[in-house]
Each structure stands twice: as structure tokens, then as C-alpha cells.
Amino acid sequence: MPGPRRARTVAIIVAAAVMVVVGVAGVLMWAGSRQAGPEAVARAWLVAVADGDEDAARAAMSGGDALEVGGAAERLSEPSVGAVRIEGDAAEAEVSFVLAGESHATSLTLSETPDGWRVGPDALGRVDVSTGLGDSVTIGEAVVPVGEVRLLPGIYDITPAPREYLGDAVSVAVLPGERADVAIDPRFTDAGVQAVREAVTDHLNACTQPATVVTDMCGLRVPWPADLAVLERIAYRIERLPEVQLTDDGGFAATGGAVVATASGTGRDGSPASATYRDDAWGVRGTVTVTGEQIRLGVL
């Protein structure tokens, strides 16, 4: 009785953008003064966000060096600072801006640090991203894990990763201090389906190279012990490759192939012998797992 089968994996490596966490050292200079007040700092932060100057926006924040990703598809406009209330080393600035044609008013908290006033981390918006396939998404040019992502205010396009092979883009408006939930239901693009088919085909071609044993996880049935006492070599001839399809359970099935195997070695009478076997139902099944920048196939 054959033992338990082990999964063999075949990886499709996808060239994709990698998340870069930028740390900005040094201190911004607003209006030529290192000790600019909270109103000037709040205004400088809003202008940096509106201009897409993510480095400047990070540097104007306390904890801004931990900001995960930028790349807004649409930025805010008409930034304005209203009343500012200061209590010791804390301040609150009333601000307004326009995003996607809508006016928004909110407040920013600021704190005084040894390097001057800084906008608090609650100025960021938080997006909780989930996906039905894979463990990462692409925002701007960065690939980030699913879960909570902190973003500067703006409109962001979020796509499953790798976006070349998975489709279902979602746009989300990110506002200071607010949380949004984004659920993505990815589907393989035509390029993704073709990549899976090519990877499975490469695996099947590798399976049918001359060998001294029947290779595991290849769907090959070569009953040579019925005719040979000792196997020395198996040669294959592919007459029809299995057709590869994605399945509803998130895997793949390669079915309908035809292969001819010729086993040679020593016959039961001790003389050289060979036997030929044909399989008109050759195929394999497996799983498709998406992790970060890879689509990984597990052949069962």
C-alpha cells in the first residue's frame, strides 16, 4: 500500500513593489525657525500632505518615522488652519480641507518635543484591510500585510497582491483619526491563470524526464513490478498534457492527459526486459496559496 503523499510546492515568483519604511532624520525648518509654533507646524503638515511630500509629513509628526505607506491616488486640497488651543506642551488645531470634492473639518493634536512642536499620530487614518485570497495588498507602490494600515489623509487604491495576477481594486477615503474597513474579494486575472498553468506544465514536464524511479507527486502510474524484477530506467512520452483549471476550493486540477511510460531493466527470468504502459487519464491536483509576492502551488 502506498504511503502518505507529501506536498510538493512550485513557486511562481512575482516581481512586485516592496514596502519601504522610511525614517527621516533631522528636523524640518518652518519659516526659518526650529521652534515654530503649533499653528505653523499644523499648516506645514497639511501642506506637505496636500503636496504629496510624504517625507516632510512624516518628519512633522511624532512617530511619523513608523508611517507604513504613502502613495495616495488623490490628495487633499485647500488646507486651512483655524483656531489653535495650547495647554502647556499640548495643543489642538482646528483644520479643514477638501478631499474628492467634499469639505472636511477636524482637529489635530500636537505635542511639544525637544525638537519642537509635532503633529500627533492620531492625524493618520487607519484602514483595516482583509482579503479572501492571499495575505498582502498593494497600496500605491508598496506591498503591505493585510490588517491595520496607517495612512496619511487621501484617497487610496488598494489592490490584492500580486496585482499583476489578482484583480479587484478598491478605493477608500482616509481621513485623520478615522477608521475604515476594506474587504477585497480577489480573482485571478488572465495573466494569473496563465502563470498557474505554466507552472503546472513546467512541473509535469519535469516529472516526465528519464528516471530510475517513479517520481512522487506527478500522477504517474507505472506498474513495472508486474513485469520486471529490477527497474533500471523509465522513459516517458507525453502524448497529451493535462489541462489545467482553477477549482472552486482555491486549488487547481490538471486532468485529461495522456502519457506513455517504457520501463526497462531485468525481467523475472534474469534477462534484460522492458514493458510499456499507457495512461489516458494522467493528471495531478493541488493547492494555490498566495503569500506576499508569490503564488505557491502545492502538488498533492
Backbone CA torsion sign across 65, 47, 18, 248: positive
How far is it, in rounded angstroms, from Cα 246 to Cα 248?
Answer: 7
- Is 124 domain-assigned? yes
Decide: 68 and 96 in contact? Cβ < 8 Å.
Answer: no
User: Which residues lie closer than 8 Å to 248 by C-beta, 6 or more apart?
Assistant: none
Listed residues 165, 186, 207: the one ending a domain:
186
What cell was used for 20? 519601504
pLDDT of residue 96: 97
Listed residues 186, 219, 243: the one ending a domain:
186
Whether residues 49 and 136 fall in one domain: yes
- Is 107 domain-assigned? yes
Name the residue type at position 134: G
How far is it, in rounded angstroms, from Cα 256 to Cα 240?
Answer: 8
Residue 49: give its domain's CATH number.
3.10.450
- Is 168 domain-assigned? yes
Q: Give the DSSP letter string of 94-159.
A: EEEEEETTEEEEEEEEEEEETTEEEE-GGGSEEEEEEESS-SEEEETTEEEESEEEEE-SEEEEEE
pLDDT of residue 65: 56
pLDDT of residue 27: 34
How far is it, in rounded angstroms, from Cα 263 to Cα 127?
Answer: 59
User: Strands 179-184 and 125-131, how do they pair?
Assistant: parallel
How far is it, in rounded angstroms, from Cα 96 to Cα 103?
Answer: 7
Decide: 299 and 236 in contact? Cβ < 8 Å.
Answer: no
Whether residues 180 and 228 fall in one domain: no
pLDDT of residue 25: 31
Listed residues 171, 186, 201: the one ending a domain:
186
For residue 62, the enclosing domain spans 31-186
- Is 144 domain-assigned? yes
pLDDT of residue 36: 81
pLDDT in tens, the chain (300 residues): 444 444 455 555 443 333 333 333 333 333 333 468 999 999 999 999 999 998 899 889 987 655 556 789 999 999 999 999 999 999 999 999 999 999 999 999 999 999 899 999 999 999 999 998 899 999 988 899 999 999 999 999 999 999 899 988 899 999 999 999 999 999 999 999 999 999 999 999 999 999 999 999 999 999 999 999 999 999 999 999 999 999 988 899 999 999 999 999 999 999 999 999 999 999 999 999 998 878 999 998
